[in-house]
Structure 1
Amino acid sequence: MRDRLNSTYTDEEIERCYGEFYEDVHTEFLKFGEIINFKVCINGAPHLRGNVYVQYRALESALVAHQSINGRYFAGKQLSCDFINVTRWKVAICGECVKSRYKQTCSRGRTCNFIHCFRNPGGDYEWADSDRPPPK
């Protein structure tokens, strides 16, 4: 993972920083309703890098989140929110990435157009990657 982001950071530092980011951003999105998936891209391709995907149980929650978050600033950058049509996460997320337990190993490297994502702390939402229902 280190080569993908910046060779000056260790994997442990990247994981710690992502954990802090996750806590801040995930907590903010939880204010709008029940989340059933939360992914942050680590892809090298500019059109995917840094994308955050939040899937809510209810459309109303997604609408309120969009109205509240779109245009706000986070870490000095203005956020731009869009609705996307991902109906199956298993097809959208790189299978090689999932098989490696999110170690970011993929034979396509930086040119992969499937989502490579950080592993959420505690494995949050990993069940959704296989299009399974949430645990009860």
Structure 2
Amino acid sequence: MLTLASKLKRDDGGKTGRASGASDSTHRVSIRDRLLTKEVSELEAHLPSTCKASFPDEDKLHHFQLAVSPDEGYYQSGRFQFEIDVPEAYNMVDLLNFDDPLNIDAAEHHLRDKEDFRNKVQDYVKHYAR
């Protein structure tokens, strides 16, 4: 996790524009990765003792493994492993959470006109996912 966090700090602090000759896409860090940098430490702090997250590549927080070892119940002493890949659109999950009582406008818009809503989301993604 420190590797990606350090990269984010370097990228934010050392912006030199396009003069370096490298394209923006090679140095740009996605919104997903910025969110995950903050959320991974929170995840690890709140995981129960029966769960462990591991990151094979600390520069790719969007790909990790979760091991669950129940300490009670039918599956006690079992070990279950999950591979988790967080999609690039991860940042949209919170923004478009229709169950969130604070997002009433988005939910009503979606119910009223699904096609227009889809277009607005696509415009939003094009604009903010740069």
Band of TM-score, shorter chain? under 0.3
TM-score under structure 2 length normalisation? 0.24
TM-score under structure 1 length normalisation? 0.23
